Structure 1
């Protein structure tokens, strides 16, 4: 399991480095003001990471759905040059509230600080984690053929050093790939 996590982290890190090296007419996606009733701008994820604003780049933000074995999986991701938020909902069933808890490990969220120069020293905080109980929610408010919109929050833990990150005031408006 640890090897799989490291391989996935390595793939995400390389993807992030490729996307962050691309040029664009825009300098950066502006940070959207985040409040309790806020929403993300189209094509991005916004949140607060321990109280500091996070706003993903539109070029590296997406959602995808896949179906296998009679169940649908929703994956959502948003990156900056130095941070990433990923959320996975297995047994996805459309609009609704999906709890993140150690009772259901088929729903997960991660906050990542990739180390491009040394991918094996990247840091990842995961939710849920062992003996965590309820640590967050992903709320899907709209799901169409082209995009998914909603809000989220979660508390996540780094397995390397047991540090905790609080991801709050999260919102997304992501286009499906």
Structure 2
């Protein structure tokens, strides 16, 4: 009877350790709050939600290396472009300028002047903008036709006023195509 109790205790402790050792970050985290076909984020305190018709994820194979390209825009002329170079599937990818491989991200605001279209302006905030880690993107689910995940990063207006924008609470649930 004593051996049975020891075996049961060992099984319960082993099960507990197995369950608690797994974490969401191992598989790319949760899927976020984006509705199907959209990308959402908080950009410097303002809400962004893309339109389904102008949002997509593309797997592009270039010379044996797979890249994931996410493009999403809204009706206000604002847009995200995120590229994971050397994409290998579900998981978390750092946005850092410390290496030539990795992730690049940008947020764009376009102000269209309808009375004088040539006077329209576009500002682009880019990440990474130096050698530090400025954020990450996590792909939590990928199917043959869809990709979901979350992201957050800091980006800098490198060709404008040098301002920094915090992009937080970002998530996407996008149709996927392969080329």
Gaps of 5+ in 2: 1-29
CA RMSD of aligned residues (A): 1.8
Whether 1:130 and 2:125 are equivalent positions in the alignment is no
Deviation per CA, 1:55-80, whole angstroms, max 9, x where unpaired? 00111000101112111010001101
Distance 1:109 1:95, change over 3 A: same
TM-score, normalisation: structure 1 = 0.74
Distance in 1 (CA, whole Å) between partners of 2:156 and 2:173 is 25
Q: Is the 8 A contact 2:134 2:154 kept in 1?
A: yes
Residues 85-100 of structure 1: matches in 2 within 5 Å?
Answer: 85-100=80-95
SS of the equivalent of 1:176 reads strand
Contact 1:46 1:53 in 2 (8 A): yes
1:84–1:105 CA distance, 2 compared to 1 (3 A): farther
Equivalent residue for 2:16?
none
Deviation at 1:120, TM superposition (A): 7.4
Give CA-to-partner distance per residue, 1:80-139, whole Å, 9 cap, x none: 1221111000100000000001113441010000244348731000000024x0101000
Give the TM-score of the pair, scaled to structure 2. Answer: 0.74
| Cα gap change, 1:52 to 1:115, in 2 (>3 Å) | closer
Gaps of 5+ in 1: 1-35
| 2:109 equivalent in structure 1 | 113
Deviations 1:14-46 (A, max 9, x none): xxxxxxxxxxxxxxxxxxxxxx98421000000
1:58-77 equivalences in 2 (<5 Å) = 58-77=52-71
Does the CA contact (< 8 Å) of 2:41 and 2:49 recur in 1? yes
Structure exhibiting the larger radius of gyration computed from Cα positions? 2
**How many residues of Structure 1 are paired with residues of Structure 2 in the alignment?**
141
For the residues of structure 2 that align with 1:105 and 1:127, how far apart are their CA atoms? 13
Call closer, same or farther: CA 1:63–1:37 in 2, change over 3 Å.
Answer: closer
* Residues in 2 aligned to 1:119 and 1:91: alpha-carbon distance in whole angstroms: 38
2:13 equivalent in structure 1: none
Structure 2 Cα separation of the partners of residues 49 and 167 of structure 1: 5
